[in-house]
Amino acid sequence: MPGDLTMHQNIYYFREQEQTALFEHLSGFLAPGGTLLVTTAVRTGQLSSATLDLWGAMSEGTSRLPALQSWASPAPKWSWA
């Protein structure tokens, strides 16, 4: 049954060039007017985010953490017909 979805701390398990297709696929599981909430760590220069970012950069099939500026307000808007 369609509803709302949450992706919590896992967007970096998908390559950046695959993320739009992933969001489009997940939109099929949303109820009309439903919400996809994506939470993620971002690159901040802190040791914890730098370590996770390094893991993403060095692991096949993953991506680096998003830059803080790319996810800051205004948040990216996604829309599907």
For the stretch 50-76, pLDDT in tens is: 999 999 899 999 988 888 776 555 555
pLDDT of 45 reads 81
pLDDT of 54 reads 92
The C-alpha atoms of residue 48 and residue 68 are separated, in whole angstroms, by: 14
Three-state DSSP at 17 gives: helix
Please compute the mean of the pLDDT values over residues 14-43 and round it to a whole number: 88
Token pair for 14: 């998908």
Q: What is the 3-state secondary structure (H, E, C) of 43-78?
A: ECCCHHHHHHHHHHHHCCCCCCCCEHHHHCCCCCCC
Query: What's the whole-number average pLDDT of the chain?
Result: 82
The C-alpha atoms of residue 35 and residue 63 are separated, in whole angstroms, by: 24
